[in-house]
Amino acid sequence: MTRTSSAGSGAGTANASIAGTRPAGTAIELGPLAVGMVGVMVTVGAFIALIVAGIAAADVFPATSGAAEALRDQGVWKATQAWANPLGIVGLAVLFAGAVPYALINIRKTISYRRDAMATGLPVLIQKGSQS
């Protein structure tokens, strides 16, 4: 409401009626980015886990310690790879299925606001043009 009144100074009742549809505020803008950051963090977490898996794999070739140690390294390597790769994909899915649709919904709401602004403002502008 505050932004609209500053945008259309002296706009009158016509502009006041579209103020309610104006998507404003930091929450609606930062929402998709916050969801996106969650996705990036999940992917980075999976990457860190995979580095641990890589270190364990490097210890297996050649196995510098005993057989039990080599078996444990192999277990860490295979087990971490088994869950960390899908976790990385989950992070991407959060971006694809969360952040991007969220941002697109915000755009749709903003297009509705612009439609209202045009529906209210264009007749006034056309009338001004015909009078001058």
Partner 1 sequence: MTTSIENAIPYKGDDAVQNMARQMAWPMLGMGVMSVVTAFIIALVAGNNIGAFFSPSGVASDLGRGQADVQLTGAFLFLGMGMILASITMTLVNIVRHLRDGGRDVQSALGATPMQLKKPWTGQATPMFMMMGVMVEVLAFILGIVAAVSIGGVSPGALVNPASASAADLADIGLARAWAAWLPGLRLVGLAMILTAIVLVLATIQRVIRFQGDRISELAG
Binding site for partner 1 (CB under 8 A): 3-4, 6-12, 14-15, 18, 22-24, 29, 32-33, 36-37, 39-40, 43-44, 46-51, 53-58, 60-62, 77, 80-81, 84-85, 88-89, 91-92, 95-96, 99-100, 103-104, 106-107, 110-111, 113-114, 116-118, 120-122, 124-125, 129
Count Cβ neighbours within 10 Å for each residue of 36-67 and write b for 16 or more, e otherwise: beebeebbeebeebbeebeebbebbeeeeeee
Closest CA to 32 of 103, 104, 105, 94: 103
Dist. CA 95–CA 39, nearest whole Å: 5
Nearer to partner 1, 9 or 131 (CB): 9
Nearer to partner 1, 72 or 113 (CB): 113
Nearer to partner 1, 71 or 107 (CB): 107
Question: Least distance in Å: CB of 102 to partner 1?
Answer: 8
Query: Which tokens sit at 34?
Result: 């916050």
